[in-house]
Each structure stands twice: as C-alpha cells, then as structure tokens.
A and B are shown apart, each in its own frame.
Chain A
Amino acid sequence: MERPKHKLRVPRARKGGVQLLVGTRKGAFRLKSDSERKHWSLKDAWFVGHVVHHLVEDPRRKGVLLAAARTGHLGPTLFRSEDGGRTWSEARRPPRFTEAPEGLLQRTVNHTFWLTPGHADERDTWYAGTSPQGLFRSRDGGDTWKPVRGFNDHPDLDRWTGGEKDGTPDGPKLHSILVDPRDAAHLLVGMSSGGVFESLDAGRTWEPMNKGLVIDYVPGDPDFGHDPHCVVMSPTNPDRLWQQNHCGIFVVDREQGVWERVGESMPKDIGDIGFPIVTHPRDPDTAFVFPMDGTSVWARTSPGAAPAVFRTRDRGASWDRRDRGFPKEHAWWTVKRQCMAHDGHDPLGLYLGTTNGEVWGSVNEGKTWRTLVRHLPHVYSVEVAGVAP
C-alpha cells in the first residue's frame, strides 16, 4: 500500500447547534437547532421551484454553500453563496461535457447530482458528479468547472457504465465522490450504473475497484456494471470503504482489495437492500443503513412499511434495529442515497430525509427518532453544514 502523503487528522466531536441543508424536488431548505439539538426550526427556503439535488457547505470555509440545481424546463446549473445563503450567484461555467473522443458516446449533462469539497489542503477545489455519469472539478471554489478528462474521456467509460437502459430511473449517476484525507490525489467515485472506480493520481488514470461485489441482475461476473447506491469512506481509516449496493451491503479494506458482503447478517425478513449508508466519523467498525423493500418489483419502501435504521458496531458481523419513534406500520416512504447524514457530535446525531417531505433526527446514534420538519417537497438530499458528504 502506498505511503500516506498527509498525516491523518482524526476528527474531534463537534459541539453546539446543527444546521441541516435539505435539497428537494422543489427547492432547498435550512433547518437549525439550538445548542442542545432539542429544538429545530425551518429557517430558509431557497430556489423554490428549482430541483435541488445537492446542497453542501464547505467544511474548509464557513458560510460557503454550493447548490446543484435545475428546473423542469431549464438546464442544469450551480449556485454559490459566500455569506451563508444571504446572497447567491450562479456559477459562470457549470459542469458540461466537452466533445467526446472518437469511439465514446457524446454525453450532455442532465443534472449535477453530487458535490464534494476537495482536500483540506486544496481550499478552492470541488468535485461534481453528474447524470449521466461524468466527473468535473472546480479549482476556483465552484465558479468554473472543467471535466476530469482522465475519467470522462476514458476509453472504457461506455463499457463501465453501460447504456441508457442500465441507468437508474432518474438517470444514470456519478455519486459518492470521495477524497482521501491523507492524499488529495487519491479519489474514489461510485457510478449507478458502473461500480466503484479509483484514481491515485488526481484523476488522470482510473481502475475499477469492484472485486467481490455481487451482481445478480446481469449474467457473468464483470469488473464493472455494478450499482453502488452509496459509498462512504471511514474518516479514521480511509482504507475502509462501505457501500450500500443494489445487491447488498458491502465493506472492503483496501489492502485486501475484495469487497465482502456483510449485509447477509441483516435479519432475513429485512434484507440488505437500501439506498443510503453512513459510517461513524470516529469508529471505522460502525455504520448505519436504512433498508428498503428490494424484493419482487422493488417497492423501495421500508420493509413492512415500518421504517428502521440498522446499525453495526462490529464491521457488519451483526446489526441492531434502531426504530424507536418511527411509525410501526403504514409508513410508505423511503430515504434516498443522499438523504442520510451525521453531525459528528458525541453522541452522534443522525438525520434522514424522506420521499414524502419529512426530515427525521436522532441525537443518540439512532436509538430514538423524531420528526424535525414535515410538509417539505420530496427530499433529494440531506447534509449537515460543515460536514463533507
């Protein structure tokens, strides 16, 4: 394994009030708590009428926000604020594909789906993932964007991603852009469809990282064409990755390089299909998932219409159900891949946004849950301000 280039900074537990940034089908919203995380209020409604796929605060620059937006009619763009959302300006050059090299499909950006701040030492760098799958980088804080050509022009990109029919219902996506806190040049991305891909040279070259993953919807045992729904990296052990995949819950330690299906230890009546996954910021053996019904025609609602978070504290060997406060029946919503986040506190706060416009929170690692806000539009993303996705 290559030697880390930067000392790993283990994050300290955060304290004080929490701000949630919520992207929805019809705008973006901010919720704020008091210092005890007891009382919550909806403070801001931005871009009402716009589809906001992701809203992220820069953990390196307080008050700098980036929003990925489009409308039903108009094309995709990004908005940026430097004053905590009081004023916004549009990116001068939002992500857009350049002319495809011969032999590759010409792609056009339908929407920017994912935003990730760059390494702590690269204070003006951001990454964006689009639908269809493309990777873009900004070196000026999100104002102008260029394709990461080593990825977007990779001669195997069309083989990795498959065609239109292989994409997710809302369009194929590049998501889960991960930057190794030890090395700004070490990048990982997830693609639905495609799989997980890794670069050790800031995006110039890429390799699939899908060994061990199960793929039960196409024949063969390919190195690509997988469907990771959400991939996360442990901040205290960046060589450990977790993913909630179309076919289960997996974990990998990079030195071994083979994904291991740890979702098989989930209760059989629940299964291990879902969209989001969150790893504990200080404990690489702990992760949280929100399962959904992935049987038959894939209802994509909570199994039995009874929502629950499941937690492992032993690297997936066992999982415990965390559902106190959730409805026990007839709750037909689900939680999408960008809609579950933690706040870095101790005890850890967890937050999730639902397809029926609710945001739920827990300030005790998922032991008890309560609704923080209702009546929002369909939630597309939930992030904690100042915590990188």
Chain B
Amino acid sequence: MIVHLPGALDDYTRGVRTHALDAGSLRQALRDLDARFPGLAFRLADEVGVVRRHIRVWVDGQPCEDLDRTLMGATEVHVTLALSGG
C-alpha cells in the first residue's frame, strides 16, 4: 500500500511524501514508518497508541483512529494534520 505523508513531516521524511509498505495493521504501518523515518511514530501517536489530537489517519478514504485496524486489502493510507494553531 502507499502511505501519503504531509509536508509537516518533511524534517523526518526529507521531502518524501509517499512511502510504499506492506503492513497488517496501522500499528505495524507506524512501526515500519518509524524504522524508515526514525522518531516519526511518537510525533503521530502517543505512548499508549492513541493518534494525537490534531492528526488524522485515513484508510482508503475512511477516517480511522484504531491502530489495530487491519490493513488487509487496503491500498492507500493518508496521514493529515488538522488546521490548528495560530
């Protein structure tokens, strides 16, 4: 599947906006992303596995907050950041 990453993560991804991986769950996908881009996972989800407040994850266009959600058959994951701040 392809994971789409936002520009706010460029410090980790060095500008890479899409990353192909093969994972059975969102939790596994985060682990794989962290292996490729060290430090990234903890910026997206906290130590008990809750996606952070202003981060949203979409699996094939559907919002998903459950890191145990299976990714079997999924083709695209989008990570987006809410328009927060000021």
Contacts and interface: CB of A to CB of B under 8 A. Distances in A.
Contact of B8 (A73, A77, A109): A73
A103 interface: no
Interface in B38-83: 38-39, 42-48, 50, 52, 54-55, 81-82
A77 B42 contact: yes
> What range describes how many residues of A lie at the interface?
10 to 19
B46 A77 contact: no
A104 B57 CA distance: 30
Interface stretch (A90-98, A155-163, A319-327): A90-98
A73 B48 contact: no
Interface string B4-30: 000011000000000000000000000
A94 B8 contact: no
A75 interface: yes
Contacts of A97: 47
Contacts, number: 47
A11 interface: no
Residue from the set A72, A97, A99, A106 with the largest chain B CB neighbour count within 10 Å = A72
A90 B12 CA distance: 10
Contacts of B84: 72-73
Contacts of B43: 74-75, 77
A72 B54 CA distance: 8
Nearest to B42: A75
B52 A96 contact: no
Interface of B: 8-9, 38-39, 42-48, 50, 52, 54-55, 81-82, 84-85
6 contacts: A72-B84, A74-B44, A75-B43, A75-B46, A77-B43, A91-B39
What 5 pairs across the A-B complex have the smallest Cβ distances?
A: A74-B43, A72-B85, A96-B47, A108-B46, A73-B54
